[in-house]
Structure 1
Amino acid sequence: MKKVRIALTKGRLEEHAVEIFKSIGADITELEDKGRKLIFKSENEQFNIDFFLVKAPDVTTYVEYGSADIGIVGKDTLMEKNKEFYEVLDLKVGKCRFALAALPDFNLDEGYNRKKIATKYPEVAREFFRTKGLDIEIIKIEGSVELAPIVGLADAIVDIVETGSTLKENGLIIVEEICPISARMIVNKASMKTKKEEIGKIIEEISKVIS
C-alpha cells in the first residue's frame, strides 16, 4: 500500500477534515494529540497516510508541486488560484458564501465615479464585477475588510460571510450574494496516476460519508 500525503488547512477546516477521516476509519490519534509534531502518521489495514497542517494558500502549493498528494482547502482559496490540480470532491462542510457588502446608502449603479472595492480576494471580486460589465478599483486588504467602507477607504467590500453578524455589528448590509463556498478535496495530477488505487479508495470512502 503506497503512502498518501495529505495537506490539511489549519483551523476550522482542520476540525471538519479530521472528523471526516475518522469516520472512514483512518487512525487520527496523532492528529488529536499534535504536540509539536509536523507530520502525523495514520497507518492501519485500510489506509497509509501522512497528514500535515498548513495555511490555506499553502495547501494548493504543496499539492500543485506534488509534496502532498491530496489537499483539503476552502473553495474561496481555489477561486483565487490557477488550477494546476484536480478538484475532486465538495466535502459539504465549512459552508459559507462570498458576498458584496456595504453601508446601507451604497448604490452600485449610482454615480459616475469608479467604485472602490476592498477585499482579501481580488480575483473573486474582479470576476464578479466583470460579469456585470462594471469597471471597479480593487483595494487589497489583509485584515478586517469591514473597516474599509466605514472609514471611507472603499465604497463596498467583497468578503466571506457565514452568519452576517460581523457585518450587522458594524452597520453593513449584504448588497448581493456572489456564490456559496465550502471545503473541497484537491488531488495532485501526477499522484492521481501513480497512486490511483490508494487515492481512489479515499475518494470513494469519503464520498459515501458526505452523501
Structure 2
Amino acid sequence: MTPAAPTASQLVFALPKGRILDEALPLLAQAGLVPEAEFHDKNSRALSFATNQPDVKIIRVRAFDVATFVAHGAAQAGIVGSDVIDEFDYADLYAPVDLDIGHCRLSVAEPVAVDGAADVARESHARVATKYPNLTRRHFEKLGVQAEVVKLNGAMELAPSLGLASRIVDLVSTGRTLKDNGLVETSRIMPVSARLIVNRAALKTDSARLGGLIDAFRALVAERKAA
C-alpha cells in the first residue's frame, strides 16, 4: 500500500538505514517518539511509518538521503552522521545537537605494504576511491595533493587490490574490515558522530514542535553525559 502523503501539519522525521539506526532508536524513544511495529519488521519494504504521535511520521532512507530530505524541507528533522553533514554542507541544514552516538572516524587507508605518509609527501596527484568526494578533495588539497576521486557507494576496500585507486577514504570503526582486505589506516580526516538535524525554514515556521524536539534531545544527551 502506498503511504499517505504528510498533511500540512505533519512533521516528518528522517532516520538513516545502517550503523546509526540501532543507537538512534532508544534515544528517539526517550524523546517520546516511537515508530509503529511495522518499522521493525525486517520483511517490510515500507519506507514511511506512523508513530505514537499522530502528527509525526518517520521515514527510513539512506544516510546521505536523510540530509537531502531535511535540507530541502521534505522532512523537517532527522538524525545523520556529521560526515554526511560536512560532505554536503547544505545551507538550509541546521545541526543543533551532537547526540554522542554513532562514533567512528573518516580516514584514509591503503594497502599494508605502502608507507602512506611518505607516499603522500612525494605525490602531487592521487587516485582515491570514496563516497565522500568533497571531503576527500579538501583533505588532499591541504596536503598539496590533487585528488582524482573515483566515486563508489560501497565495496571501497576492493579498489586498491583491483587497481581502481591507490587508496580509499571511508568510515572506520574498529578497523577490522580494512585489515581483512589488506588495508591499513594511514591518516584520520575527522571524527564522526550522529547529529540531530533540522530544516532552518521549518524551525522558523514550526518553532514550537521543532524547538521542543531540540530541547528534548539536548536534555537527553546532557543526562547521559552526567550519568
Q: TM-score, normalised by structure 1?
A: 0.87
Q: What is residue 183 of structure 2 aligned with on the other side?
A: 172
Q: What is residue 104 of structure 2 aligned with on the other side?
A: 96
Aligned counterparts of 1:206 and 1:138: Cα–Cα separation in 2: 37
Aligned counterparts of 1:28 and 1:113: Cα–Cα separation in 2: 50
Q: What is residue 148 of structure 1 aligned with on the other side?
A: 159
Aligned counterparts of 1:11 and 1:127: Cα–Cα separation in 2: 26
CA distance 1:93–1:138, change in 2 (3 Å): same
Q: What is residue 93 of structure 2 aligned with on the other side?
A: 85
Residue 138 in structure 1 maps to residue 149 in structure 2: yes
Judge conservation of contact 2:81–2:192 (CA < 8 Å) in 1.
Answer: yes
Q: What is residue 124 of structure 1 aligned with on the other side?
A: 135
Q: TM-score, normalised by structure 2?
A: 0.82
Aligned counterparts of 1:42 and 1:151: Cα–Cα separation in 2: 46
Q: How many residues align?
A: 208
Q: What is residue 48 of structure 2 aligned with on the other side?
A: 39
Judge conservation of contact 2:108–2:167 (CA < 8 Å) in 1.
Answer: yes
Highest relative contact order (Cα 8 Å, sep 6+), 1 or 2? 1
Judge conservation of contact 1:30–1:41 (CA < 8 Å) in 2.
Answer: no
CA distance 1:14–1:110, change in 2 (3 Å): closer
Judge conservation of contact 2:51–2:58 (CA < 8 Å) in 1.
Answer: yes
Aligned counterparts of 1:140 and 1:122: Cα–Cα separation in 2: 7
Aligned counterparts of 1:159 and 1:30: Cα–Cα separation in 2: 33
Q: What is residue 4 of structure 1 aligned with on the other side?
A: 11
CA distance 1:31–1:210, change in 2 (3 Å): farther
Q: 1:13: Cα distance to partner?
A: 2.1
Q: 1:100: Cα distance to partner?
A: 0.9
Aligned counterparts of 2:175 and 2:201: Cα–Cα separation in 1: 40
Aligned counterparts of 1:37 and 1:150: Cα–Cα separation in 2: 37
> SS at the partner of 1:178?
strand
Q: Identity over aligned residues, as a percent?
A: 36
CA distance 1:21–1:96, change in 2 (3 Å): same
Aligned counterparts of 1:108 and 1:92: Cα–Cα separation in 2: 35
> SS at the partner of 1:25?
coil
Q: 1:158: Cα distance to partner?
A: 1.0
Point out where structure 2 has 5 or more consecutive residues left out of the alignment: 1-8, 223-227
Structure 1 window deviating more from structure 2 (103-112 vs 65-74): it is: 103-112
> SS at the partner of 1:136?
strand
Q: What is residue 203 of structure 1 aligned with on the other side?
A: 214
Q: 1:167: Cα distance to partner?
A: 0.9
Judge conservation of contact 1:18–1:31 (CA < 8 Å) in 2.
Answer: no
CA-based RMSD of the aligned residues comes to: 2.2
Q: 1:28: Cα distance to partner?
A: 3.4
Aligned counterparts of 1:209 and 1:171: Cα–Cα separation in 2: 40
